[in-house]
Structure 1
Amino acid sequence: MHSKQIITAGTPLASAKKALIMIHGRGGSAQDILSIAQYLNVNDYALIAPKATNNTWYPFSFMAPLGQNEPWLSSALQVLEDVVDEVIDSGIPKEHIYFLGFSQGACLTLDFVTRHAARFGGVAAFTGGLIGDKIYPEHYTGDFAQTPVFIGTSDPDPHVPVERVYATVNIMKNMNAEVTEKVYTNMGHTISQDEIDHANRLVFK
């Protein structure tokens, strides 16, 4: 399972007033996802990027039956919970904790924050949706209290059906998140400049 391996950048956690937790995709790395920060309005944030064992958070599609991705999925969610606890222990409250993920990392990010809904600083998810062969509403509790969320995706995307993105948006809106989704025709499995612009305007403002 996953051990807690963290790469940090930006302002040291001990002196930062905001933190951005950045979750890489399948086959990516903590260093890869950290490189996106140079394009975001996060100059004064502590940047925290956990690293998945073997660069993969869970082995199968995010839409596989949940049991197929265990124990890796639960282990990955626990890594995020541990990171959030560490940030809070450093003196940064939840409302100043931000999340960003791409692809598998976006799925993990969305699933984690929706399992622990609260007033966070904001969430930017580039191509992702809630995890499971179907959506299990009983897994998701809490109140986002108008947390700003941006979800961008391509239609079509080879890994994330746009229907799952819409279903995710509906769940999060019902839990009082301020969600903006943007669907790009034939964008491909990547992060676009327009998504970065939206994230800066809506989340990292």
Structure 2
Amino acid sequence: MTQNNNKHTLDIHLPDKGKSLQEAKKALIMIHGRGAAAEDMLALSNHLRVQDYAILAPQATNYTWYPNSFLVDTVQNEPWLSSAVDIIHQTVQKVIKAGIAQQDIYFFGFSQGACLTLEYMARNAGRYGGAVAIIGGLIGQKLNKDQYKGDFKGTPIFIGTSNPDFHVPIERVYATQNILTDMHAEVTLKEYAGMGHTINQEEIDLANQLIFK
């Protein structure tokens, strides 16, 4: 993936597993964290009940979606943040154009990818199949509810997090849960004391039970 004026370009990795967009009735969009890669998320999909899904994993330029903490003023993360949100939007549109309905689109994001997943969904609320966000929250120094519009219409969202976490304070996770719930998402939050910045087996099990049924 090449860099162009500090913005991301669309580079979607399709694995040699699961279904093609033309064959599948559901799609999973997986968003990697800072310093990671699309291939890491595709490997993670082996542990999810998504064998019949089309699986798409966008790749961030230089392995990061935006350069600074998700807790700074969003201006400090531009133009990368807007570009990253647009990449997710382009990925969603690619799925819809292939004939898969929005309510059959699912998301899985970890860390910076979880923040980006939740931010994209809150800016584009509607009925999705569901989402998993492991250690993440909505983006910005202060959350502006006015930029989040739409109705999730009962979309299930599972958020797993460590408490404490050195990147994502629990207070931001709570604030994110409240906003998503107000927008009629069915949010399940699970905290793990001192887990560290990682994904545990119980979170995978809960993702399969709650989202990838």
Structure 2, unpaired ranges of 5+: 1-6
Q: CA RMSD in A?
A: 0.5
Identity, in percent, stands at 58
One-letter amino acid of the structure 2 residue matched with residue 15 of structure 1 = E
Output the CA distance in 2 between the equivalents of 1:28 and 1:76.
15
Structure 1 position 183 matched with structure 2 position 199: no
- SS in structure 1 at match of 2:202: helix
5+ residue gaps, structure 1: none
Distance 2:12 2:91 in 1: 9
Q: Which runs of 4+ in 1 moved over 6 A?
A: none
TM-score (ref. length: structure 1):
0.99
Letter in 2 for 1:82: Q
Query: Shift of the alpha carbon at 1:8?
Result: 1.1
How far apart are 1:41 and its partner, in Å? 0.6
Deviations 1:36-84 (A, max 9, x none): 1111110100000000000000000000111000000000000011110
Correspondence 1:171 to 2:179: yes
Q: Determine helix, strand or coil for the equivalent of 1:119.
A: coil
Q: Match for 1:152 among 149, 160, 166?
A: 160
For residue 108 of structure 1, the aligned residue among 107, 116, 123 is 116
Total equivalences in the alignment: 205
1:55 is matched with: 63
* Aligned mates of 2:44, 2:167 — CA distance in 1: 21
Q: 31, 39, 50: which one pairs with 1:42?
A: 50
**In the aligned structure 2, how far is the partner of 1:139 from the partner of 1:26?**
24
How far does residue 184 in structure 1 lie from its aligned partner after superposition? 0.4
Residue equivalent to 1:5:
11
Deviation per residue, 1:149-188 (Å, 9 max, x gap)? 0000001101000100000000000000000000100000
CA distance in 2 between counterparts of 1:86 and 1:148 reads: 22
2:23, 2:150 → 1: CA distance? 29
Aligned: 1:81 with 2:89: yes
Q: Which segment drifts farther, 7-16 or 118-127?
A: 7-16
Give the whole-Å Cα distance in 2 for the aligned partners of 1:171 and 1:107. 14
Q: Which amino acid aligns with 2:97?
A: D
> How far, CA to CA, are the matches of 2:197 and 2:142 in structure 1?
22
Counterpart residue type for residue 49 of structure 1: A
1:25 aligned partner: 33
**Are residue 138 (structure 1) and residue 138 (structure 2) matched?**
no
Q: TM-score, normalised by structure 2?
A: 0.95
Specify the alignment match of 1:90 in structure 2: 98
Q: CA deviation at 1:134?
A: 1.1
Shift of 1:14: 1.1
> Take 1:201 and 1:37, find their aligned partners in 2: how far apart are those partners?
15
The DSSP-based 3-state class of the residue aligned with 2:207 is helix
